[in-house]
Every structure is written in C-alpha cells, then in structure tokens.
Structure 1
C-alpha cells in the first residue's frame, strides 16, 4: 500500500513513534494525515488534521470514524505500559493496558474497516513488540501477545475486502513511554518508522524492525503441518 496521495490516520500521534509516523507519512506524499490523540496537536503542515481521540472510548472512536470518511491507511500506534504484575497490580490498571493495546486496536479497525473497503481496501498497521513472543511479568507483554493474535485474525477476515494488515514488531524504541527503561538498548524512532512504512509500501504482512526482534521471531516454531485440534 503506497502512501503517496493517500490519507493516513495515526493514533497516539502526540509523542514518540506517533509523531514520527505523521512526519514520515507527510514526507512520503500523504494527501492528508489525521493526527489522533487524547490531546489536540498543533502542526504547521496544512495536510495535518488534528483529531481528539481516546481509543478506549467507543463513542470517541465512532466520532472519529464519522469525521474521517476518507482514510486509506489506519496506523494503530497508541499504546501504554502498566500493570507490572498480573497478580498484584490493580485489576483496573491491567484492564487499562488491554483496553488500549488490544481492544482499542480492535474497535478502531472495526470502525474503519467499512471506510477502507469503500476506498479499495487500504491498509491497517498494528504496532506490536518483540514482547509479543516473550513472556514477561505484567500486562504489557501479554497484551502484545494478544495483539499479535488479533492482528493475524484480522488479516484473515479483512483479506476478503482487499485490506493489507501489517503487524510491526520491535524491541525498545527511544520514546517518552520507555524513559523508565534503563537496562536495554533503544532504537531511533526515525529508523523504526522508516522500516515499518517500507514494509507497508512493499505489501508485507509483517515488519521485523531490528536484529533482536528478528532473532526472537526466527526462534519460533515454523511447523505449519501439524493438524489443528478438533
């Protein structure tokens, strides 16, 4: 799915990778970019349309779908950390992580799928993580594992309308969300976004951004011949 001449919507566009997605989409010739976040965004480029959006609020999502009937590419970038222990963290905190990282993606995709279909299929990009495949304490890695499965299932369902669904996986990027992570290397946001958008324009199903993620992905079982249960 090429970006040039098309309309892009980026969630979580107020900081981190979201800002970079807006910038690089413009650089690749996007006709319009909806920069969606919980707070309003100011941008000098007239092609940027600020949008107030909370991906955990169904009414907010419905309003965004109504206000943006020309979206060709949906980038589900919004995500949060939290729920450091599945056993002792407040369940409300764990729900917040899943509501943002999983159900927010699902509701955004459900709401915009008809728009994408009406415009020839378009594309959905889900920002997952290397932690989709590594079990770690807390809600974040389990939410990203759920997102990986969700992305794959949505790809199967959206194939009938010609929508490309790209799952992007990476280790830590240097963003405000990871400022508290001090014991791991961090990737440059411009490199991360550049590789993801390259994969999008190449028509890929998956973007593996860095060597750590590639090594973990390669370690997964590739046996696809086993019979499914039942």
Structure 2
C-alpha cells in the first residue's frame, strides 16, 4: 500500500520507535496520524491526533475502533521489555505482563480494526516484533523472547487470514534500537527514525517481513545453522 494520503494509527507512539513512526508517516504524506499511548498528553507533534489507549484494556480498544473508522494502516508498536531468568520467582508475572502487551495486545488490535481495514481498497498492519523472537539471551530475555515469538506466530497467522480482504501484514524484526527500552544495553543501536523509514518503504514495496539490521539478519540465518543458534550459541 501507499503511505501518501493514508490514515494511520500508531500504538505506543509517545516515544522511541512509535514517535519515529509518527514522524516518518507525516514525512511520507499520510493525511492523518492517530498517535496512541497510555498517556498521550506529551504528544504534541503538529498534524497528529493524540488518543489515549492501553492495549491491555479490551474495552479501550473497542471504544477506539468505534471512534476512528477511517484508519487504513495500523502499526502495532506498543510493547514492554523487562529482563530476568525464567527460573526466578517473579518470571511468571513478567511473562504474563509481556504477553498481554507484546502478543495479546496486537491481536486484540487486529481483531478490532480488521473490519475497518476491510472497508478500504488498500490497507495494512505493521507488527513490531524483534530479533529476539528467534533467540534468547540466557538469564536475561527468556520471557521477553517468548512473548515476541508468540507475536511473530500471530503476525504470520494475521497475514494468512487477512489476505482475503486485501489487508497486507508486515512483520518488523529488529535488534536493539536507540530508545529508552535499550538504554542500558551495550553495543551498537539502530536509529529509530531510520528503522521507521525502512519499514514504511518495505510496506510500500509489498514485503511481508523486514529484517532491519545486520544483527537480525545474523540471528535469522542462525535458525538453520548446524547446530542451530537457539540451542545455545547465544550463551
């Protein structure tokens, strides 16, 4: 689909990659951008419509879908991090919270907005996933990786099921981005503005999956190495 003259909804848009998506959409000629966040008071970008939304609250999602029926591009960007061992006492709570935001949230959004997207000749969903959907860092990212692996599987299912109504689905896989979530992580980080621009270009080019950086490409290639990377090479 084309970004020019589209009407987009971006979740988790008050900072980081979400805010970068808002800027990229405006620069690419979107006619309207709904910027959603739990606290949208800080969203002041000119030409943007701030909306309050917590993707873990089904009633808020339903209410928003009834309110803004002109959306033809949904960007599921809202997500939470969190680190720790899967064997730690609080890992189940962390897993639950990450699943609700990172996997169940995008699914609820897709369910609510799919009928609205079907009204348009051209429509799409972008799901922000992660290189860590295919790998874990032992003792650190087990539950987060689990939530993102689920998000990847759900994104693939969405693509298959929404094809009949003409809605494209693009999965974005990226490693560490220079945002608040990755602030304490050492090493090279991608620019959120560059990732947002790359993703919109990939959508316009008709791609279904974007491996946005070298680290992600390497992790993806490791799935079919011998032995496969996920059996312990990340340790």
Give the structure-2-normalised TM-score. 0.89
Contact residue 8 and residue 72 of structure 2 kept, 8 A = yes
- Equivalent in the alignment of 2:188: 185
- Equivalent in the alignment of 2:213: 210
Mean CA deviation greater in 124-133 or 86-95? 86-95
- Equivalent in the alignment of 2:69: 69
The structural deviation recorded for 1:198 is 0.8
Which secondary structure state, in structure 1, belongs to the residue aligned with residue 115 of structure 2? helix
Which secondary structure state, in structure 1, belongs to the residue aligned with residue 118 of structure 2? helix
Contact residue 82 and residue 94 of structure 1 kept, 8 A = no
2:179 is matched with which residue: 175, 181, 184? 175
Which secondary structure state, in structure 2, belongs to the residue aligned with residue 12 of structure 1? coil
Give the structure-1-normalised TM-score. 0.91
2:204 is matched with which residue: 193, 201, 204? 201
In the alignment, the residues of structure 2 paired with residue 89 and residue 122 of structure 1 have an alpha-carbon distance, to the nearest angstrom, of 43
Q: Figure out how many residues of one structure are paired with residues of the other and give that number.
A: 220
Question: How do 1:93-112 residues align onto structure 2 when only pairs under 5 Å count?
Answer: 93-112=94-113
The structural deviation recorded for 1:63 is 1.2
Which secondary structure state, in structure 2, belongs to the residue aligned with residue 165 of structure 1? strand
- Equivalent in the alignment of 1:145: 149
Unaligned residue ranges in structure 2 (runs of 5+): 226-235
The structural deviation recorded for 1:139 is 1.1
Q: CA RMSD in A?
A: 1.5
Q: Residues 65-87 of structure 1: CA distance to partner in whole angstroms, max 9, x if unpaired? A: 11110001000000101252222
Which secondary structure state, in structure 2, belongs to the residue aligned with residue 36 of structure 1? strand
With over 3 angstroms needed to count, the CA separation of the structure-2 counterparts of 1:67 and 1:81, relative to structure 1, is same
Contact residue 126 and residue 167 of structure 1 kept, 8 A = yes
